[in-house]
Amino acid sequence: MSSIFSDRISDVPRSFIREILKVTVDKDVISFAGGLPNRELFPVEQLKQASAEVFDEAGKEALQYSNSEGYLPLREYIAKRYKTKNGLEVNPENILITNGSQQGLDLMAKIFLNETDDVMLEEPGYLGAIQAFQVYRASFNAVRLEKDGADIEHFKQILKHSKPKLFYTVPNFQNPSGISYSDEKRKIIAQLLTDKPIIVVEDDPYGDLRYTGREKKTFKSLMPEKTILLGTFSKTVVPSFRLGWLVAPAAYMERLVIAKQAADLHTNYFIQRLIFKYLSTHKIDSHIAVIRDRYDKQRTAMIAALRKYFPEGVDFTLPEGGMFLWVMLPEGISTMKLFDIAIQKKVAFVPGNPFYTDGRETNTLRLNFSCVDENLIDEGIKRLAEATRELLSTNKDY
Binding mask of the shown chain, residues 235 to 274, with x at each position contacting ligand PLP by CB under 6 A: ----x----x------------------------------
Distance, CA of 262 to CA of 256 (rounded, Å)? 10
Residue 203, interface with ligand PLP (CB under 6 A)?
A: yes
Task: Report the nearest approach of ligand PLP to the CB of residue 322 (Å).
Answer: 8
Q: Count CB neighbours of 389 within 10 A.
A: 13
121, 170, 229, 342: which one binds ligand PLP (CB under 6 A): 170
Taking contact as CB under 6 A, which single stretch among the options 62-70, 97-105, 266-274, 357-365 is the one that binds ligand PLP? 97-105
Q: Which of 71, 112, 126, 167 binds ligand PLP (CB under 6 A)?
A: 126
Binding status of residue 354 toward ligand PLP by CB under 6 A: no
298 lies in the binding site for ligand PLP (CB under 6 A) = no
Please name the residues in contact with 279: beta carbons below 8 A apart, sequence gap of 6 or more: 74, 77
**Contact status, residue 214 vs residue 47, Cβ threshold 8 Å:** no
The stretch among 59-67, 99-107, 146-154, 277-285 that binds ligand PLP (CB under 6 A) is: 99-107
Residue nearest to ligand PLP (CB): 100
Read off the amino acid at residue 389: R
Gap between the Cα atoms of 305 and 316, Å rounded: 12
What per-residue string of b and e applies to 21-55 under the rule 16 or more CB within 10 Å gives b? beebeeeebbbbbbbebbeebebeeebeebbeebe
Where is 52: in which H helix or E strand? helix 44-62
**Position 100 contacts ligand PLP (CB under 6 A):** yes
Q: Is 35 in the site for ligand PLP (CB under 6 A)?
A: yes
183 contacts: CB under 8 Å, gap ≥ 6: 216, 217
CB of 280 to ligand PLP, least distance (A): 21
CB of 364 to ligand PLP, least distance (A): 17
Q: Residue 380 contacts by C-beta under 8 Å, 6 or more apart in sequence?
A: 30, 32, 305, 347, 372
Q: Does residue 364 belong to the site contacting ligand PLP (CB under 6 A)? A: no
Residues that bind ligand PLP (CB under 6 A): 35, 100-102, 126, 128, 170, 175, 203, 205, 232, 234, 239, 244
